[in-house]
Structure 1
């Protein structure tokens, strides 16, 4: 299998996202390494326990071991290897923590895979690297640290699930680089697809998600409470306020009249009812665990929408930002 893929891949961050990409890239024959902070290095070198919901219906009773990868902690170590692909498996706020420029300078000609879905993430990245070397993607799977409340596992680890008909999309201006990323992921059986422009596709979805997340956080992450809340009716209004701003730069992935049908309160309410019945783990606990961890990213995106639209165009967004801050105390 190594001969089929034969690429050297570095993943920045060995959290719940990085481990999933790492495991499947390794399964496809790639030589995988992680770049982590020194305080996480010892744990990473011991390998990871993982649980794959798509491989076992009772996944939490079937721990998997992911090991045999490199662990790097310094820029000198990064520069000492010729990388084919480098994946940024960190949040949008972590991306802006002042380290990216020095890091990118050590990568030689490697393809940089950006997995952050924010409206300004690509522009931020292009300050340090040419667009031809960048492949944009978004995460099409759910991953979390198990056990969540109500779960039992033999050993703590990362559990993950690939939803049906939801492959991770990727796009890039350089065809050879994009195909290289897709080939490495497909070799490891990580569902993925080519998209014309991932940023265009993701910014609209992310906008809706941020309002859903904010509403859930203000209702103790309860789908049932949100489905009965007047706030549910405000999600479409806030979303379309942001869509009006986004449409000046990004083409909508679908006609807005069709999106309006999907975002009607009854459709959102149906989605809140259906999701827990289709997903093999506690989706409410997942939302709590994941979005509390990246809570600063939620606020960052709302601030970006507010800044892009101005005070008069995004008044509803300003109300949502105030609501989020009040809920957090």
Structure 2
């Protein structure tokens, strides 16, 4: 298949690597200023508890204008940019030029499909959920090798939901490349409430000055618990799902007192530095998501004071 990946950052590079391993023809859409750097090829490091495995990604195409996109025929277009960038004019022009390609949305906002549906016919859209954490290496204060580092959670798969003829080839391509993937009937039902928990916790962590080790007992966590519950309740109301008991428990300080030291001992990278680096780069997306949870809560007549208070602690992102 001919596959276009919009964005060559932390998410796009990892998916490109595995789709390339499956034998597909990969191209990146990027702004022209990134072409020289990208043209030299990419180095990726898969992190494991025993060290890291380094691989090179080369031989891919580079596209820099919607006109170039329109001039070619694509089987799939993977959106690997932040949610706020997805709503930008350039992304819209690229999607409008994609023709009959399957469009795979990987952003965490449950309303992203509604935005893309204004540009792409609904029958071409597949919703996805990312299964890994990736970041530029080395992280500040670390001496790891240069490139893109990523960690594959052995218990998680990239999830895909959409029409059979569109979703199945995407799942198959990832599996053929060696990345775990599976289909679900409804991506919102499968992931939305959990993502609300995680994305709101990112905002809580930022409001705590990115101090991961001290988060559980912090005033930010005490305030943030309310916001997390409000976000999950708002998304649950929108999707028609209850908040599962494990996620309710995950909104408590007790769970984070256990989870934080466990993750610092078992994950093969500096968790605090990785979270700070990655989510600082997509700070506009974090703010957009918190705003969307406030809007959903208001829509369903639910409390949002905790979310609004959390949002006020976040400096405006530029």
TM interval, shorter chain, is: over 0.9
Change (3 A) 1:187 1:117: same
Aligned partners of 2:141 and 2:315: how far apart in 1?
Answer: 29
Corresponding position of 2:150: 160
Aligned partners of 1:80 and 1:72: how far apart in 2?
Answer: 11
Aligned partners of 2:213 and 2:66: how far apart in 1?
Answer: 47
Deviation per CA, 1:19-61: give whole Å up to 9, x if none. 100011000111111111000011111101111114x8322xx
Q: Quote the offset at 1:201 in angstroms.
A: 2.9
Runs of 4 or more, structure 1, over 4 Å off, are none
Aligned partners of 1:79 and 1:165: how far apart in 2?
Answer: 38
Aligned partners of 1:101 and 1:218: how far apart in 2?
Answer: 32
Q: Greater CA deviation, 270-279 or 222-231?
A: 222-231
Aligned partners of 1:141 and 1:85: how far apart in 2?
Answer: 21
| 1:144 alignment partner, SS class | strand
Select 1:135's aligned residue among 91, 116, 126.
126
CA contact (8 A) 1:223 1:273 kept: no
Q: Quote the offset at 1:312 in angstroms.
A: 6.8
Aligned partners of 1:163 and 1:245: how far apart in 2?
Answer: 28
CA contact (8 A) 1:162 1:191 kept: no
Number of aligned residue pairs: give it: 316
Corresponding position of 1:20: 14
Change (3 A) 1:268 1:43: same
Select 1:81's aligned residue among 61, 72, 80.
72
Q: Is 1:237–2:226 an aligned residue pair?
A: yes
Q: TM-score, normalised by structure 2?
A: 0.93
Aligned partners of 2:234 and 2:250: how far apart in 1?
Answer: 19
Q: Greater CA deviation, 218-227 or 231-240?
A: 231-240
Corresponding position of 2:24: 30
Q: Quote the offset at 1:153 in angstroms.
A: 4.1
Q: Quote the offset at 1:123 in angstroms.
A: 0.8
Aligned partners of 1:272 and 1:237: how far apart in 2?
Answer: 19
Match runs of 1:257-296 below 5 Å: 257-296=245-284
Over aligned residues, Cα RMSD in angstroms?
2.1
Aligned partners of 1:153 and 1:269: how far apart in 2?
Answer: 28
| 1:193 alignment partner, SS class | strand
Match runs of 1:177-192 below 5 Å: 177-192=166-181
Q: Quote the offset at 1:17 in angstroms.
A: 0.9
Q: Quote the offset at 1:143 in angstroms.
A: 0.6
Aligned partners of 1:213 and 1:105: how far apart in 2?
Answer: 32
Q: Greater CA deviation, 74-83 or 311-320?
A: 311-320
Corresponding position of 1:3: none
| 2:247 alignment partner, SS class | helix
Change (3 A) 1:47 1:231: same
- Gaps of at least 5 residues in structure 1 are 1-6
Aligned partners of 2:232 and 2:88: how far apart in 1?
Answer: 28
Q: TM-score, normalised by structure 1?
A: 0.90
Change (3 A) 1:292 1:255: closer
Aligned partners of 1:88 and 1:78: how far apart in 2?
Answer: 14
Q: Quote the offset at 1:215 in angstroms.
A: 2.1
Q: Greater CA deviation, 219-228 or 111-120?
A: 219-228
Corresponding position of 2:304: 314
Q: Quote the offset at 1:189 in angstroms.
A: 0.7
Aligned partners of 1:12 and 1:34: how far apart in 2?
Answer: 6
